[in-house]
Every structure is written in C-alpha cells, then in structure tokens.
Amino acid sequence: MPRVRNIIRNVKVEEALHSRKCHRNNRHIIHAGEKHLALYMGVSRENFCMLCAGQLLERAGEHLAQIRDELGL
C-alpha cells in the first residue's frame, strides 16, 4: 500500500534566529528566539507571528473541513 502524502509539508514551526516582520501584518515583530510559523514557497519563505499563525491555521482548518464535506468524508 502506498504511503499517504503530506500535502502541507511546506509549513513548519520554527524559532527565529533574528528579528523579522510578520508577512501578514508588518507591524507585528517576530523577535529572535520566538517561535513562528514559516511557509516555504519554492526558494522563498514567509514568516507569521503566533497571533497571525493562529488565524491562518483556523482559516486553513475551515477550508479543509469544507473540502472534506464536498468529498463526503
């Protein structure tokens, strides 16, 4: 039996090595040492602070629930 693919493998929780801005709201600062959500897209990466990450994951969960409903799963 073939193994099940991870379709969201490009999303990871990382610890910032340096301060950076959140890609959803550039007024949010991710400080060095803080955990954040990192989304890899080819050679680029977008970083999201914990506040925005929670909102993004909530929206993604809603989208996955909708897909499950449409598939009847």
Sequence ranges of the domains in the chain = 11-71
Q: Where would I find the beta strands (DSSP E) of the chain?
A: 11-15, 20-21, 29-30, 35-41, 44-48
Establish how many alpha carbons lie within 13 A of residue 41's alpha carbon, considering only the half-sphere containing its beta carbon.
5
Question: Between the CA atoms of 47, 19, 24 and 54, what dihedral angle is there, to the nearest 10 degrees?
Answer: 70
pLDDT digits (tens, 9 = 90+) for 31-70: 999 999 999 998 999 999 999 999 999 999 999 999 999 9
**Max CA-CA distance within the chain?**
48
pLDDT digits (tens, 9 = 90+) for 19-35: 999 999 999 999 999 99
